[in-house]
Structure 1
Amino acid sequence: MFVGERRTRLIRARKAAYYTQETLAYALNVDPTTVGHWERGKSEPLPYKRPKLAKLLGVDREQLEELLAEGQNAPSAAGSAAAPPPADAVTTSGDLDYDTWADDLDRAAVCLGRQEFVAAKLLLDRWTGQLASGADQRALHLYGRSLRLLGDLRQDQGVLTGPLSARQSYRKAMAVFAELHSDRRVAQLELHLAVLDEMSGQLEAAGRQYERLAADHRLDARDRTRALLWVGTALSKAGEGTAAITFIRPAIRRFEALEEPQDWSVAYQKLALAYRGDGDLRQATAALEVALDHRAGDAPMQRVRLDTAHGHLLLSDPATADSGLALLEGAAATATEYGMLHQLQAITGIRRAYEQQA
């Protein structure tokens, strides 16, 4: 009698592509147990599933067939040793597999960077309900990270307040890290909560928090510089463009010294909006050109933010207003596609203000 055996190389390929069994199953529209059966050599992917499976794993069809061949025709005898556990089996004390938990959080962060909210939520949901009383420090640390990522997800979706909101998740995470005496992570969460204040329109309160945290040495140099930049952002949104520029320009210099190209590019985007609010369209255009020429990556969130800033600036000149409206329409379509509610609301507000002026 012949049965399959574990396809170790297939499991490694899945993990290298930052998928769990659940997220890969979601992408292929199959049940997670089906993926588990493939990896344990109990079944084969159907022919029409294989092209997409190969694409998701980053291999060609021949390489996929080699991965699948590993589990074929393995002999089995009565009385033989028990088969090894599945790759995702719980192996540590307290029914918590810490390594898999940490891996899933890394994958969730990658998914959030791509605005793949459903996949990120699947990964986080595996762990956010599993913490028992008397958990050790490592479990508490992973639980705090899980809550923070859940807050990031809800922030990106625009769920800022109320039950199951970003604010609720961040506060729970802050309590966990306070219990662990992790001052840096507590300060980071204070910074995230200030961002929520800003996004909710509480600009003065957010600005005060940003300014305090910009000098708070619980944070590293990058986070302190981000806080400095966001003081300028809050002032810019409040219509104080000149004051905003005095915070944004030093942040740009610090990001350059820290060799943080993505933050540096985003800071120029913020600078463009501050100059626009100050009525200096020449300087605003120059700053935005820097941001456009040095955009870091092409994640949907960053694309929407940059196109929104660009469209907003183009609306300031009647000669380019049509192009600005087209950019905003494209940004709104992307925000809708990825479920970025806050970004969509911002775009709607810009268009409404332009129509009222027109």
Structure 2
Amino acid sequence: MATVQHWSGQEAHALRLALRMSVRAFAEHLGVAVRTVSKWDKLAAATEPRPDTQAILDTALARADAAAHLRFETLLSETGRPALSPGLRVTSSGPRMWDYESWTDDLERTVVELSRQNFTFASSLLIRWTSRWRPPELDDRGLYLFARSTALLGDLQRDQGAILGPLSAQHSYAKARSVFSQLDIPRRVAQLDLSLAVVAEMSGQLETAAHNYETLAVDDRLSCRDRARARLWVGTALSKSGNHTYAARVMQAATREFEDLAEPDDWSVAHQKLALAHRGAGNITGALHFIDVARTSGTTDSPMQRVRLDAAHDHILLSDRATRDDGLVVLGQAAKVAAQYGLVHQLRSIEGIKAMSEGPTGPRRQ
């Protein structure tokens, strides 16, 4: 935060303009006479407030918001007067106080936009910061925000289906992990390990993913929720590799943990994955039961979650010739939403389900 070493009428005048106040309003804001503020405006650097008034100006500056601080320092820099304490100013090559606040706000907005699958806007919020500074130009606070931005960029790339390569989720997660390791923040490092395990699973490295999930499921660096999610994803990798019965048992344990933790959305997702494990084991009745629970529980209704639920549901429906037509209808709905929101990975999965259902031997179990 900017501070003034010694106030003159010039700094006081700049603060009034930065706060966008009239002479009278500024006088009332400080509790001084109108003629005093007028003298500051007229005499500028040729006059100095009394010591008690300087303390009042210090307080007014400290209470000003980030935008007012930006206007205040800009006004002073235009006059060429070095009024701000050099010990508290950030070098011109790195972020300033208001940059950090804006950056933090944009990260919060990014999380919301990613939950809505508004990838274009989320990407613009992230790139405006990650393209502005390089890590060597940042202090620890800036590095933390840079790593968070890069990790969120990885989430965006993962949801869009960019899993491997130089412009992919894997690359972004590894980059964010490196910065969090440099900052010595173990919890964030472990969360990135979990994200990288998801990338391994999505790219077909099921054995590697399952092993990493198992390790992270007992990793004390992670929260109880993240450890339960790792345990659930062990089951997912097992189910994808054909070990459906054991996968269902692992998923059931994770489901109980989500219930104990009062996490309704994770609990709902766990039932969705349980449904697919039972479908893979040939238990269509059980699969329909669990997918119905997933569809009627949880609090999140994002496009991504709707597509995942519909894809799981039609996968089950297509397993039975009696419900195949219903499955194709649901499949079409899921494909439409996935295409609308650019959910490339989900769209590929839907196309894979459709191709299997249209195979020469009819619907098959996997």
TM-score band, normalised by the shorter chain?
0.7 to 0.9
Tell me what 2:122 maps to: 120
Matched, 1:104 2:72: no
Tell me what 2:287 maps to: 284
Aligned with 1:239: secondary structure?
coil
The answer (yes or no) to whether the contact 1:241–1:277 under 8 Å persists in 2 is: yes
1:172 Cα deviation after fit: 0.5
- Paired residue for 2:334, among 313, 331, 351? 331
1:172 and 1:109 map into 2 onto residues whose CA distance is: 19
Tell me what 2:276 maps to: 273
Q: Which has the higher helix share?
A: 2
Within-5 A mapping of 1:240-251: 240-251=243-254
1:257 and 1:354 map into 2 onto residues whose CA distance is: 38
Aligned with 1:259: secondary structure?
coil
The answer (yes or no) to whether the contact 1:155–1:166 under 8 Å persists in 2 is: yes
The answer (yes or no) to whether the contact 1:314–1:321 under 8 Å persists in 2 is: yes
Taking only aligned residues, the RMSD between alpha carbons, in angstroms, comes to 2.0
Tell me what 2:352 maps to: 349
Matched, 1:95 2:95: yes
Code of the residue aligned with 1:274 in structure 2: it is A
TM-score (norm 1): 0.75
Deviations 1:50-103 (A, max 9, x none): xxxxxxxxxxxxxxxxxxxxxxxxxxxxx799xx99689597723341111000
The answer (yes or no) to whether the contact 1:235–1:244 under 8 Å persists in 2 is: yes
1:285 and 1:200 map into 2 onto residues whose CA distance is: 28
1:289 and 1:295 map into 2 onto residues whose CA distance is: 12
Moved more, 207-216 or 86-95: 86-95
Structure whose CA Rg is larger: 2
2:219 and 2:146 map into 1 onto residues whose CA distance is: 25
2:270 and 2:204 map into 1 onto residues whose CA distance is: 20
Matched, 1:302 2:305: yes
Code of the residue aligned with 1:220 in structure 2: it is S
Tell me what 1:201 maps to: 204
The answer (yes or no) to whether the contact 1:131–1:139 under 8 Å persists in 2 is: no
Percent identity between matched residues is 53
TM-score (norm 2): 0.73
1:119 and 1:88 map into 2 onto residues whose CA distance is: 27
1:179 and 1:162 map into 2 onto residues whose CA distance is: 23
Deviations 1:116-159 (A, max 9, x none): 00010110011012334252110010000000000000000000
Cα distance 1:249–1:88, how it changes in 2: closer, same or farther (>3 A)? farther
Code of the residue aligned with 1:114 in structure 2: it is R
> Gapped runs of 5+ residues in structure 1?
1-39, 41-78
Aligned with 1:288: secondary structure?
helix
Tell me what 2:139 maps to: 136
2:287 and 2:66 map into 1 onto residues whose CA distance is: 59
1:189 and 1:122 map into 2 onto residues whose CA distance is: 22
Tell me what 1:5 maps to: none
Tell me what 1:235 maps to: 238
Deviations 1:240-268 (A, max 9, x none): 11010111000000000000000000000
1:282 Cα deviation after fit: 1.3
Code of the residue aligned with 1:147 in structure 2: it is T
Code of the residue aligned with 2:95 in structure 1: it is D
1:261 and 1:88 map into 2 onto residues whose CA distance is: 43
Cα distance 1:135–1:245, how it changes in 2: closer, same or farther (>3 A)? same
Aligned with 2:173: secondary structure?
helix
Cα distance 1:127–1:292, how it changes in 2: closer, same or farther (>3 A)? same
Aligned with 2:129: secondary structure?
coil
Tell me what 2:81 maps to: none
Cα distance 1:237–1:170, how it changes in 2: closer, same or farther (>3 A)? same
Matched, 1:225 2:228: yes
Equivalent residues, number: 279
Aligned with 1:312: secondary structure?
helix
Runs of 4+ in 1 over 6 A off after TM superposition: none
The answer (yes or no) to whether the contact 1:88–1:100 under 8 Å persists in 2 is: no
2:261 and 2:300 map into 1 onto residues whose CA distance is: 19
- Paired residue for 1:176, among 166, 173, 179? 179
Code of the residue aligned with 2:193 in structure 1: it is E
Cα distance 1:278–1:261, how it changes in 2: closer, same or farther (>3 A)? same
1:190 and 1:266 map into 2 onto residues whose CA distance is: 21
2:68 and 2:279 map into 1 onto residues whose CA distance is: 54
Tell me what 2:10 maps to: none
Moved more, 287-296 or 140-149: 287-296
- Paired residue for 1:253, among 252, 256, 264? 256
